[in-house]
């Protein structure tokens, strides 16, 4: 009888653990697609490792595409939500919008629509903020950076103010193109995300 109770308890624990396991969908650009690197060394792969190390069974779906913009992410999102039914959506987009000089108002509209669709699908949202190099002019860079903080407040979603905090402006942490984080920066990217992501799991 005692063995039966132990077996039943273990079965219930396994069922509860599986029920708690969720899906994390990452919709990003080249930074999350580990452009120029072995993808096994990118921050998303490091995230998967950390989840396992800390006892989480969440599945990570990396739907990041190098060169993608907020418009591209918005176009791809409905199918991704329908297919994966994520519990958490991480939005890491906007860098390419800024490099192309697209209007911050359009960026805000696109990201806002992505957030709304994700929330309507029942997912929690984590928005990863980006900044543009100062050579684009103070007015533009300020307006661009403000998009993320404004959306975080207006949509009441979790926000990492600057995804590349501690990385941008440090050549030793960047690849030769000066745009994409190097292998040595991937752990820092994860550390920037983790404190905001963990409460959503």
Active site residue 191: no
| Partner residues linked to 174 by β-bridges | 181
Among residues 38, 87, 177, 191, the one annotated as catalytic is 177
Among residues 38, 118, 180, 191, the one annotated as catalytic is 180
Among residues 29, 30, 58, 118, the one annotated as catalytic is 30
Active site residue 97: no
Provide the greatest CA pair distance for the chain.
74
Active site residue 180: yes
Residues with active-site annotation: 30, 177, 180
């Amino acid at each position: 009888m005692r063995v039966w109770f132990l077996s039943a308890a273990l079965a219930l624990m396994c069922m509860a653990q599986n029920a708690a396991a969720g899906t994390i969908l990452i919709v990003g650009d080249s930074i999350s697609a580990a452009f120029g690197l072995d993808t096994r060394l990118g921050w998303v792969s490091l995230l998967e490792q950390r989840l396992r190390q800390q006892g989480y069974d969440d599945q990570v779906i990396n739907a990041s595409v190098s060169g993608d913009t907020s418009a591209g992410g918005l176009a791809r999102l409905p199918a991704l939500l329908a297919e994966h039914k994520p519990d958490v959506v991480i939005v890491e987009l906007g860098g390419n919008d800024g490099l192309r000089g697209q209007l911050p108002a359009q960026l805000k509209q696109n990201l806002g629509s992505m957030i709304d669709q994700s929330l309507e699908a029942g997912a929690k949202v984590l928005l990863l903020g980006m900044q543009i190099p100062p050579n684009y002019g103070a007015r533009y860079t300020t307006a661009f950076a403000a998009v993320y903080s404004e959306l975080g407040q207006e949509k009441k979603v979790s926000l990492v103010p600057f995804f590349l905090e501690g990385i941008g402006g440090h050549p030793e942490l960047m690849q030769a193109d000066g745009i994409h984080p190097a292998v040595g920066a991937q752990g820092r990217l994860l550390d920037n995300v983790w404190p905001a992501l963990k409460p959503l799991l």
